[in-house]
Amino acid sequence: VRIENKTYGVCRVNGTLIPKERLRLVAHATMSIDAKNAQR
């Protein structure tokens, strides 16, 4: 669905691109590392 909506790889918190390295490790990631850490 996110691929169809063209939102795959885009952080849902701040709208920045999620690095490819993170997507390789966690393909279902919806947040960047910075956004995830800020959430804690």
Phi-psi region of 13 (alpha: psi -120 to 50; beta: other; left: phi over 0): alpha
The dihedral through the CA atoms of 24, 26, 27, 29 has a sign that is negative
Beta-carbon count within 10 A of 7 CB:
13
From residue 4, alpha-carbon distances to 32, 34, 36 in Å are: 20, 25, 24
Whether the Cβ atoms of residue 32 and residue 25 lie closer than 8 Å to each other: no
Q: What pLDDT score was predicted for residue 9? A: 97
Q: Which domain holds residue 29?
A: 1-40
Number of domains in the chain: 1
pTM, 2 dp: 0.81
pLDDT by residue (tens digit) across 1-40? Answer: 888 999 999 999 999 999 999 999 999 999 999 999 999 8
